[in-house]
Amino acid sequence: MLMEACLGGELWTILRDRGYFDDNTSRFAVACVIKALQYLHSKGIVYRDLKPENLLVTGDGYVKLVDFGFAKYLPAGKKTWTFCGTPEYVAPEIILNKGHDHAVDIWAIGILIYELTTGVPPFAASDPMQTYNIILKGVDALDFPKKISKNAQHIIKRLCRPVPTERLGYQKNGLLDITKHKWFQGFDWMGLEKRAIVFTPLQRKVLNNMDTSNFDRFTGDVIMPPDETSDWDDLF
């Protein structure tokens, strides 16, 4: 597949380098995600793998959703039971195998807001099973760091309700309800849709269409693997 080059780099890399984002930067990134998910949900597609690693920044500083390996077409009113997603972002209904729908993306928006504003996800442990147990204890059991604003705390709690139907953005207006929350007060949604926000908080320096300097660099493998000479496939 040939896709456009998002030369601003990975959102995860920017977050790692800065430590955490202020409300303005987090709000902009999450707003881009909400618009992307609004489109997917309108087409009956549940995304299921929201996280900073799957968000790329364009040369003009806008955030794009990538990696649709877990995305699935799911007609309205239907559920799916596949256990998938990144452990820290998995919703309770997936862990409990109750069947899930696009409400898992709403849960993930809340987790994303927490990670962007603190630098770490709210539910994390060295072992995935421990992470799942912490998730099932719920967002109300969390001690929010002081760096998270009151409005950010409130929207996270509204998005990460254990009962999917109680999550902000699950009702008849869909994700539009999220955009009206106090955390987004004063945000230029029209400017975002028209890509008219000239100086975005995620603007990166891009010299030209071949400039990959905003991506991490890795050395190539120099060790050649040994030849396979066991003839294990002789009987096939």
Query: Is 183 within a domain?
Result: yes
Residue 49 annotated among the catalytic residues of the structure: yes
Q: Quick check: 224 pLDDT over 90?
A: no
Give the per-residue pLDDT at 131.
97
Residues 130, 199 contacting (CB under 8 angstroms): no
Query: Is 200 within a domain?
Result: no
Query: Is 210 within a domain?
Result: no
Give the per-residue pLDDT at 233.
84
Give the per-residue pLDDT at 7.
94
Task: State the pLDDT confidence band at 234, using cuts at 50, 70 and 90.
Answer: confident
Query: Is 208 within a domain?
Result: no
Structural domain including 183 reads 9-193
Of 17, 22, 23, 49, which one is the catalytic site residue? 49
For the chain, the average pLDDT equals 95
Task: State the pLDDT confidence band at 3, using cuts at 50, 70 and 90.
Answer: confident
Query: Is 188 within a domain?
Result: yes
Query: Is 223 within a domain?
Result: no
Q: Which pLDDT tens digit goes with each residue over 33-87?
A: 999 999 999 999 999 999 999 999 999 999 999 999 999 999 989 999 999 999 9
Q: What is the DSSP letter of 107?
A: H
Task: State the pLDDT confidence band at 147, using cuts at 50, 70 and 90.
Answer: very high
Give the per-residue pLDDT at 154.
98
Task: State the pLDDT confidence band at 123, using cuts at 50, 70 and 90.
Answer: very high
For the chain, how many structural domains are there in total?
A: 1
CATH (domain of 83): 1.10.510.10
Q: What is the DSSP letter of 141?
A: G
Neighbour-count burial for 2-24, b at 16+ CB within 10 Å, e otherwise: eeeebbbbbbbbbbeeeebbebe
Q: How far apart are CA 92 and CA 86, in angstroms?
A: 13
Query: Is 72 within a domain?
Result: yes
HSE toward the beta carbon, residue 191, CA cutoff 13 A: 10
Burial class (CB in 10 A: 0-12, 13-18, 19+), 32: buried
- Please state, for a pLDDT cut of 70, what percent of the chain lies above it: 100
Residues 5, 34 contacting (CB under 8 angstroms): no
Query: Is 159 within a domain?
Result: yes
- Please state, for a pLDDT cut of 90, what percent of the chain lies above it: 87
Residues 123, 131 contacting (CB under 8 angstroms): yes
Query: What pTM was computed for the model?
Result: 0.91
Report, as an integer, the average pLDDT of 196-205: 93
Give the per-residue pLDDT at 174.
95
CA Rg, the chain, in Å?
20
Report, as an integer, the average pLDDT of 19-32: 97
Task: State the pLDDT confidence band at 221, using cuts at 50, 70 and 90.
Answer: confident
Q: Quick check: 162 pLDDT over 80?
A: yes
